[in-house]
């Protein structure tokens, strides 16, 4: 299946446009929908142990894949509506995280940077 980043962004834009959903797609509403999808992803794991969450059966893995896609599609939508370049945002945040979580303090340690 063709799965190029720019192609997906373009198809997604067309999809919402064709359905005249732009009116519903205020950043506030999309952010709500995005959290709901994130919670649906999380729900799959909530009664599993951490170990179980690593070895999903085929059906659960497929469900996870769909929920990841849902979160991703809303993430692309809110980025488009607010004219944010998501790849640039990610690169910028990664650079910031390298400062916030210096190797010598963060290694083997999942504390929040404010607690380091």
Which residues inside 13-72 make contact with a copy of itself, applying CB under 8 A? Answer: 15, 18-21, 23-24, 26-29, 31-36, 38-51, 53-54, 56, 61, 64-66, 68-72
Among 58, 94, 99, 114, binds a copy of itself (CB under 8 A): 94
116 binds a copy of itself (CB under 8 A): no
Q: Which of 91, 6, 38, 5 is nearest to 46 (CA)?
A: 38
73 binds a copy of itself (CB under 8 A): yes
Pairwise CA distance, residues 86 & 39, whole Å:
21
Q: Using alpha carbons only, what angle is made at residue 58 by residues 67 and 49, rounded to the nearest 5 degrees?
A: 75
């Amino acid at each position: 299946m063709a799965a190029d980043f720019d192609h997906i962004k373009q198809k997604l834009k067309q999809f919402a446009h064709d359905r005249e959903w732009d009116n519903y797609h205020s950043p506030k509403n999309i952010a709500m929908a995005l959290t709901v999808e994130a919670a649906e992803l999380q729900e799959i794991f909530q009664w599993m142990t951490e170990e179980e969450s690593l070895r999903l059966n085929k059906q659960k893995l497929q469900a996870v894949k769909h929920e990841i896609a849902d979160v991703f599609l809303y993430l692309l939508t809110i980025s488009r509506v607010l004219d944010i370049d998501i790849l640039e945002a990610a690169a910028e945040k990664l650079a910031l995280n390298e400062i916030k979580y210096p190797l010598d303090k963060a290694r083997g340690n999942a504390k929040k940077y404010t607690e380091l």
